[in-house]
Amino acid sequence: MPKENLKIQIPASSSNLGPGFDCFGLALTIHNEYDIEFIDSYDEFEINSNLKDEFCPNNKENLFYKAFQILFRKEGFNKIPSIKVELNAQIPCSGGFGSSGTAVLGGLVAANNFLECKYEESELLKEACLIEKHPDNVCASLLGGFCLSSFEDEKLISKKIDWQLEEVDILMLYPLDFRVNTDEARKILKENHPIKSSVSNLSNSAFFTAAVLTEDLELLKESIKDKIHEQERLQLIPGASEIISMAKEQSAIGATISGSGASLIVFLDSKSNLDIIKDKAKEIWAKNKLESESILCKVSNSGALIY
């Protein structure tokens, strides 16, 4: 029996945020919106979007559809209800915005709605983590705000913290037609780190979290530092190191790689030189033969919404 059509809006996310590798996620006010029509038949799938085919193929290889099938298979369905989907994507496909996580969540949330919300948020997140392999982006996109998460031995722990630092703007800088493969960007990381680096990340993660909880901008500024992934990954993104240093010189609160890149996240307040940072970032990327764009946004305390 066909279900009512629904619309699902899912925010982009930035992960790691410096010290919180595979743990920190931040939902952003940039969204993808899925309009889903349930059709009275089985095993048919169609998706249309404003994205290039390579990012949103109109076939069953689509990540949204792969995720959509999971709960039905778990429930023992032999046939999957047919759907037709319109995707209105605001989230750039440059890595670092958690866009694959939004597709996975879109499919899971749509299926769960069909199944009368039998699965709880934590169960949906676990399924999403099994696909994505890391929990930070999907937790932020589903729950919103600043999320802490861990996914060890298939056990998920997540905690959403509302972001109250209203004065903070987020500038996302990203090159066009240049992507960092997340698997590759994970393989280049060291397996073991000196205790000094681990202690530094541990302290800065705690300070970052305390800064968000106590709305302390100075502490936030001190804590956006990493010693376990950023240096290795900067080598994969031409110009990124120069852009991050430049943003800090121009009074950004902090700047770092968003997720595994290639996007960069810059935290700003009214003292930061927004226009100079945007212009200089474009120049630096152009010098490295990369066209680029930027989006100014906020942290979104809302996660995925169903209409």
Instruction: Catalog residues that contact ligand HSE under the rule CB under 6 A.
Output: 15-16, 21-22, 134, 136-137, 182, 185-186, 259-260
What minimum distance in Å lies between the beta carbon of 259 and ligand HSE? 3
What minimum distance in Å lies between the beta carbon of 260 and ligand HSE? 4
Task: Show the DSSP H helices in the chain as ranges.
Answer: 63-74, 99-114, 121-132, 136-143, 182-187, 195-214, 217-223, 230-234, 240-249, 274-287
Q: Which is nearer to ligand HSE, 182 or 301 (CB)?
A: 182
Give the number of residues written for the chain. Answer: 307
Residue nearest to ligand HSE (CB): 259
Q: Which is nearer to ligand HSE, 156 or 274 (CB)?
A: 156
Distance CA 5, CA 27 (A): 26
What minimum distance in Å lies between the beta carbon of 278 and ligand HSE? 23
Q: Which is nearer to ligand HSE, 81 or 92 (CB)?
A: 92
Distance CA 104, CA 284 (A): 34
What minimum distance in Å lies between the beta carbon of 161 and ligand HSE? 18
Distance CA 66, CA 111 (A): 11
Q: Which amino acid is at 99?
A: S
251: DSSP letter:
T
205: left (phi over 0), alpha (psi -120 to 50) or beta: alpha
What minimum distance in Å lies between the beta carbon of 221 and ligand HSE? 22
